[in-house]
């Protein structure tokens, strides 16, 4: 039954996925990543059997949050002793440890039973694009991102900015703060507003 | 006792019986009864009315009839796999005894225990079992990861920026069609 | 171990129940008075269990030991059970084992009876005859079922079906166990095998050889259900054989290609290897390493070429095989011969290039 052995090995094997977290919402990404870690994308999935895959997350430093969440979203912690309560805003936590936001979000997106720690060990988070070759060598597929990566203004060429349709002109007495020497940039900013 | 503490097996077909040739697994049946007691009345009726027919229609089963004085009636079925099952049938009427004997005849002789499943197959999948690369596009193999194009979120709707660009393009087209030749100073404005 | 122990316990339960009955108020038996003291009851039961364990389980006894036994009726039922018409004398001979004859001679010596039992009356000759019949018809059936399979594969499947365990279990389930005349009960596996083979020969002698062939197919081939028939033949170098087969069929030599891989630097690595000939996929298989995957893929390709892959149709029943018109001597192509031919042509080709 040597062939049956390898067939079973193939069915039950864990494959390695890559996820690019650049400009992605950590909370919505975490829901997707948690599904892959638990193996919910497989037809052989069962809640009690450990059939999850590995996920390598890159660019965790460059995640994006909407509105004022960097300031208003807080992580709270209690040491267990009196006056041990602490509350850290997301921006602070992220500046201290750029992989922590994704990790916490994924952890909280999984059911709280004993397999959770095992699943978390199969999550590999890297703050930037640099991943050790022994990790990136394992990867065989990539998870689709959940939102569009916006193109930043400095990524546009001067011609593109010039060619962009102008919606309206500012009145002459309108004062624009932080006006820079680059005139075309300001016009685009104004257009977007 | 809960079902968990009791032994359980899968569904067993003894020696793939019936795949080639069916062999009735009941080897011999011993009917014990008393000739006088009222409790053996049903068995006596069975012996009188049905036993010969049973033996004639099942020549593969050896029937032993054994009168026991002042004992309850019983049926002992011996199976080919070495098991034997005894059923006490005293105070039963003839019809019930017929049913018990029919049960003994049609059984395989395997112990009656809880079954984990009510079905059993030796070839679970003919077309092959699932594996992680099934239905995966082979072009994924040629990519080097991270591949920003492959992992990109695909927007089905038109974004606001794209909408503006489209509108501007359309206006340009319209202006060209009008053939007004000379454009205003700020021709691109909407 | 569990089964005899359980039996002991149930036995002691019976004893205990009887003892408890003896304590009941209505019983004035003086012999049991000392047991009325509840303190002395547990040690008593314990002693019962210990004694029972020391004695061990009851030896298995032949059904005739329980009073109900008619050998002629059982022989008749045996024939009817299998749906065969036996010559009773031949069948009787098929059930007499060598150990029974030896035991009989010894007993007669002890008693002082001088009549001799003929040494040929046991089933040895019949079993030899039956063995040849089984091999002949099994192989013919398998060749008919797998016309593209190599002779070595056919022989390996036949060998598997001829093992002592399989034959003894088949014999047991058609009911030869109680009918064997042997020194011991239950009879040894070897005796069961010999008797089963002798029964096959008895079918052939009572009726025809084809009937015996159908009997063999009906009772032995179902034992292959759920078994991997391709793994019975131990192939050391599947790739070598595959290239020989492809060359003999005029196809291009096999090329193995890596289809998928993941987790290469972890212990749970997975590789999918496909084997191509003339840019056509002829077999693919997963594996933990590249070597294993390639070897398994070559085996898969061979399976596909031999038409014994997992999606093959089920085994034919004996009624659908023309056992009468089968050529029993015809053999399938031999893998060894093919390999030799291939290596010869290979070396000659090398010489030509030099």
Q: For residue range A9-25, what is the model confidence (pLDDT) as tens digits?
A: 999 999 999 999 999 99
Q: Do C225 and B16 count as a contact with CB atoms less than 8 A apart? A: yes
Q: How far is CA B4 from the centre of its chain?
A: 20
pLDDT of residue C226: 86
Return the minimum-mean-pLDDT range out of A170-179, C161-170, C299-308: A170-179
- Counting residues of chain A whose pLDDT is more than 90, the rounded percentage is 72
Residue C258: which pLDDT band, with cuts at 50, 70 and 90? very high
Phi, psi of C144 (to 5 degrees): -70, -40
Residue C41: which pLDDT band, with cuts at 50, 70 and 90? confident
Q: Do A137 and C265 count as a contact with CB atoms less than 8 A apart? A: yes
Q: Do A141 and B136 count as a contact with CB atoms less than 8 A apart? A: yes
What is the average per-residue pLDDT within B152-176? 88
Give the position of tokens 């005899």.
Answer: C4
Cβ-based contacts of A129 with chain B (< 8 Å): 146
> What's this model's pTM, rounded to 2 decimal places?
0.81
pLDDT of residue B91: 94
With a cut of 80, say whether residue B190 has pLDDT above it.
Answer: no
Cβ-based contacts of A10 with chain B (< 8 Å): 131-132
Q: Which positions ≥6 away from B87 have C-beta within 8 Å?
A: B74, B75, B76, B77, B100, B104
Cβ-based contacts of B59 with chain C (< 8 Å): 76-77, 80
Q: Which helix (H) or strand (E) holds B33?
A: strand B26-33
What is the average per-residue pLDDT within C286-299? 95
- Asked if residue A20 is part of any domain, the answer here is yes
Cβ-based contacts of B130 with chain A (< 8 Å): 11, 42-44
Report the top-level CATH class of C71-225. mainly alpha
Closest CA–CA distance from residue A4 to any residue of chain C (Å): 9
- In this structure, the answer to whether residues A168 and A81 fall within a common structural domain is no
Return the minimum-mean-pLDDT range out of C115-124, C213-222, C300-309: C115-124
Tens of pLDDT along A114-169? 999 999 999 999 999 999 999 999 999 999 999 989 888 888 899 988 888 887 88
Cβ-based contacts of A134 with chain C (< 8 Å): 265
- Asked if residue A148 is part of any domain, the answer here is no
| Cα distance between residue C66 and residue B74, in whole Å | 15
Report chain C's mean pLDDT, rounded to a whole number: 86
Q: Strand C280-287 vs strand A74-78: parallel, antiparallel, or unpaired?
A: unpaired
Question: Of A116, A142, A168, which residue constitutes the final position of a domain?
Answer: A142
**Both tokens of residue C252?**
């291009």
Picking from C174, C259, C310, the nearest residue to B126 by CB comes out as: C310
| Cα distance between residue C20 and residue A155, in whole Å | 95
pLDDT of residue A178: 60
State the chains in contact with B (3 or more Cβ–Cβ pairs under 8 Å).
A, C
Q: Cα torsion at C34, C35, C37, C43 (round to 10°)?
A: 120
With a cut of 50, say whether residue C195 has pLDDT above it.
Answer: yes
**Both tokens of residue A89?**
């805003």
- In this structure, the answer to whether residues A6 and A92 fall within a common structural domain is yes
| Cα distance between residue C254 and residue C251, in whole Å | 9
Q: Which residue of C has its CA nearest to A140?
A: C262
Beta bridge partners of B26: B79
Say if residues C228 and A4 touch (Cβ distance below 8 Å). Answer: yes
What is the average per-residue pLDDT within C216-231? 92
Residue C28: which pLDDT band, with cuts at 50, 70 and 90? very low
Q: For C56-64, which contacts have Cβ atoms below 8 Å and span 24 or more sequence positions?
A: C56/C4, C57/C4, C57/C7, C57/C8, C58/C7, C60/C185, C60/C186, C61/C185, C62/C178, C62/C185, C63/B28, C63/B78, C63/C178
Mutate to test the interface with C, among A13, A15, A136, A139 (most CBs of C within 10 A): A13
Residue C13: which pLDDT band, with cuts at 50, 70 and 90? very low
What is the average per-residue pLDDT within A34-60? 95
- In this structure, the answer to whether residues A39 and A129 fall within a common structural domain is yes
Cβ-based contacts of B128 with chain A (< 8 Å): 7
* CA distance from start to end of chain C: 70
Name residues 209-238 of chain C within 8 A of A (Cβ).
Answer: 228, 230-231
Q: Which helix (H) or strand (E) holds C16?
A: helix C2-23
pLDDT of residue C277: 94
Q: Do A13 and C261 count as a contact with CB atoms less than 8 A apart? A: no
pLDDT of residue A180: 54
Number of neighbouring beta carbons within 10 Å of residue C218: 19
Picking from B131, B132, B151, the nearest residue to A142 by CB comes out as: B151
Total domain count for chain B? Answer: 1
What's the domain range around B86?
14-110
pLDDT of residue C29: 47
pLDDT of residue C122: 86
Q: Which residue of B has its CA nearest to C227?
A: B122
With a cut of 90, say whether residue A79 has pLDDT above it.
Answer: yes
Residue C4: which pLDDT band, with cuts at 50, 70 and 90? very low
With a cut of 80, say whether residue C30 has pLDDT above it.
Answer: no
Return the minimum-mean-pLDDT range out of A62-66, B179-183, C22-26, C157-161: C22-26
Number of neighbouring beta carbons within 10 Å of residue C71: 13
Picking from B140, B151, B159, the nearest residue to A144 by CB comes out as: B151
Choosing among 3.20.20.210, 3.40.50.720, 1.10.10.10, 3.30.160.20, the CATH entry for C235-314 is: 3.30.160.20
CATH number at residue B102: 3.40.30.10
- In this structure, the answer to whether residues A64 and A135 fall within a common structural domain is yes
What's the domain range around A57?
2-142
Cβ-based contacts of C266 with chain A (< 8 Å): 138
With a cut of 60, say whether residue C24 has pLDDT above it.
Answer: no
Q: Do B80 and C173 count as a contact with CB atoms less than 8 A apart? A: yes
pLDDT of residue C1: 36
Q: What DSSP string runs through C68-93?
A: ---HHHHHHHHHHHHT----HHHHHH
Picking from A7, A58, A165, the nearest residue to B168 by CB comes out as: A165
Mutate to test the interface with B, among A142, A166, A168 (most CBs of B within 10 A): A142
Give the position of tokens 């699932």.
Answer: B130
- Counting residues of chain B whose pLDDT is more than 90, the rounded percentage is 57
- Asked if residue B146 is part of any domain, the answer here is no
- In this structure, the answer to whether residues A105 and A60 fall within a common structural domain is yes
Q: Do C272 and B127 count as a contact with CB atoms less than 8 A apart? A: no
- Counting residues of chain C whose pLDDT is more than 90, the rounded percentage is 63
Give the position of tokens 């919505």.
Answer: A28
Burial of residue C69 (CB within 10 Å: 0-12, 13-18, 19+) is middle
Cα–Cα–Cα angle for C213, C215, C218, rounded to 5 degrees: 110
What is the average per-residue pLDDT within C86-92? 93
Closest CA–CA distance from residue B107 to any residue of chain C (Å): 14
More confident residue, A93 or A193: A93
**Both tokens of residue C241?**
């054989």
Total domain count for chain A? Answer: 2
Cβ-based contacts of A167 with chain B (< 8 Å): 164, 189-190
Residue C351: which pLDDT band, with cuts at 50, 70 and 90? low
Burial of residue B158 (CB within 10 Å: 0-12, 13-18, 19+) is exposed
Tens of pLDDT along A112-122? 889 999 999 99
Cβ-based contacts of C81 with chain B (< 8 Å): 23-24, 60
CATH number at residue A53: 3.90.1180.10
Tens of pLDDT along B120-149? 888 777 788 899 999 999 899 899 989 988
pLDDT of residue C346: 67
With a cut of 70, say whether residue C18 has pLDDT above it.
Answer: no
State the chains in contact with A (3 or more Cβ–Cβ pairs under 8 Å).
B, C
With a cut of 70, say whether residue B29 has pLDDT above it.
Answer: yes
Q: Which positions ≥6 away from B175 have C-beta within 8 Å?
A: B183, B187
């Amino acid at each position: 039954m040597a062939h049956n052995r390898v067939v079973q090995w193939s069915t039950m094997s864990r494959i390695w996925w890559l996820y690019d977290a650049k400009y992605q919402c950590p909370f919505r990404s975490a829901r997707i990543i948690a599904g892959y870690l638990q193996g919910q994308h497989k037809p052989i999935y069962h809640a009690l059997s450990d059939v999850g895959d590995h996920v390598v997350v890159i660019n965790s430093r460059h995640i994006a949050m909407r509105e004022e969440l960097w300031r208003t979203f807080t992580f709270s912690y209690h040491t267990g002793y009196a006056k041990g309560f602490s509350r850290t805003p997301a921006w602070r936590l992220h500046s201290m440890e750029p992989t922590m936001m994704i990790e916490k979000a994924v952890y909280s997106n999984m059911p709280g039973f004993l397999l959770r720690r095992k699943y978390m060990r199969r999550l590999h988070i890297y703050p930037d694009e640099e991943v050790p070759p022994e990790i990136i060598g394992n990867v065989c597929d990539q998870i689709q991102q959940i939102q569009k990566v916006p193109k930043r203004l400095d990524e546009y060429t001067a011609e593109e900015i010039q060619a962009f349709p102008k919606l309206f002109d500012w009145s002459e007495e309108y004062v624009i703060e932080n006006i820079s020497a680059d005139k075309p940039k300001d016009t685009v900013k104004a257009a977007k507003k | 006792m809960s079902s968990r503490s009791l032994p359980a097996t899968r569904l067993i077909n003894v020696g793939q019986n019936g795949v080639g040739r069916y062999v009735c697994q009941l080897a011999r049946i011993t009917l014990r009864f008393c000739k006088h007691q009222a409790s053996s009345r049903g068995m006596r009726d069975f012996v009188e009315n049905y036993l010969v027919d049973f033996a004639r229609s099942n020549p593969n089963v050896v029937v032993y009839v054994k009168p026991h004085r002042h004992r309850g009636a019983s049926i002992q079925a011996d199976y080919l796999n070495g098991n034997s099952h005894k059923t006490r049938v005293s105070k039963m009427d003839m019809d019930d005894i017929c049913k018990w004997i029919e049960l003994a005849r049609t059984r395989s002789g395997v112990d009656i225990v809880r079954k984990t499943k009510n079905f059993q197959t030796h070839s679970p999948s003919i077309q092959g079992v699932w594996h992680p690369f099934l239905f995966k596009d082979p072009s994924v193999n040629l990519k080097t990861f991270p591949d920003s194009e492959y992992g990109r979120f695909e927007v089905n709707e038109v974004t606001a920026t794209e909408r503006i660009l489209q509108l501007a393009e359309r206006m340009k087209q319209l202006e060209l069609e009008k053939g007004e030749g000379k454009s205003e100073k700020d021709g691109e404005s909407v | 171990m569990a089964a005899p122990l359980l039996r002991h316990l149930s036995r002691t339960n019976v004893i205990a129940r009887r003892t408890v009955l003896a304590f009941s108020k209505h019983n004035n038996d003086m012999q049991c008075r000392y047991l009325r003291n509840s303190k002395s009851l547990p040690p008593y039961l314990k002693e019962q269990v210990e004694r029972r364990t020391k004695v061990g389980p009851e030896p298995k006894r032949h059904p005739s030991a329980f009073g109900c036994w008619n050998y002629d009726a059982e022989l008749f039922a045996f024939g009817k059970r299998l749906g065969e018409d036996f010559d009773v004398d031949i069948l009787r001979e098929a059930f007499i084992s060598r150990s029974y004859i030896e035991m009989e001679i010894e007993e007669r010596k002890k008693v002082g009876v001088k009549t001799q039992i003929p040494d040929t009356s046991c089933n040895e000759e019949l079993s030899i005859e039956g063995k040849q019949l089984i091999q002949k018809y099994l192989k013919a059936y398998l060749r008919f079922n797998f016309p593209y399979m190599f002779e070595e594969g056919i022989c390996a499947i036949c060998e598997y079906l001829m093992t002592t365990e399989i034959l003894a279990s088949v014999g047991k389930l058609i009911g030869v166990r109680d009918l064997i005349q042997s020194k011991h009960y239950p009879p040894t596996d070897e005796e069961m095998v010999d008797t089963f083979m002798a029964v096959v020969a008895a079918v052939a002698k009572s009726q025809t050889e084809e009937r015996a062939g159908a009997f063999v197919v009906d009772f032995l081939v179902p034992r292959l259900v759920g078994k991997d028939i391709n793994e019975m033949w131990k192939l050391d170098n599947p790739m070598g054989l595959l290239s020989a087969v492809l060359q003999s069929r005029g196809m291009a030599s096999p090329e193995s290609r890596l289809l998928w891989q993941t987790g290469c630097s972890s212990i749970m690595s997975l590789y999918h290897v496909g084997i191509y000939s003339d840019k056509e996929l002829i077999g693919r298989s997963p594996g933990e390493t590249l070597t294993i995957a390639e070897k398994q893929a070559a085996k898969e390709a061979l399976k596909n070429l031999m038409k014994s892959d997992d999606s093959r149709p089920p085994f034919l029943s004996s009624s659908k095989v023309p056992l009468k018109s089968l050529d029993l001597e015809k053999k399938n192509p031999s893998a060894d011969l093919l390999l030799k031919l291939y290596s010869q042509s290979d070396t000659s080709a090398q010489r030509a290039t030099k």
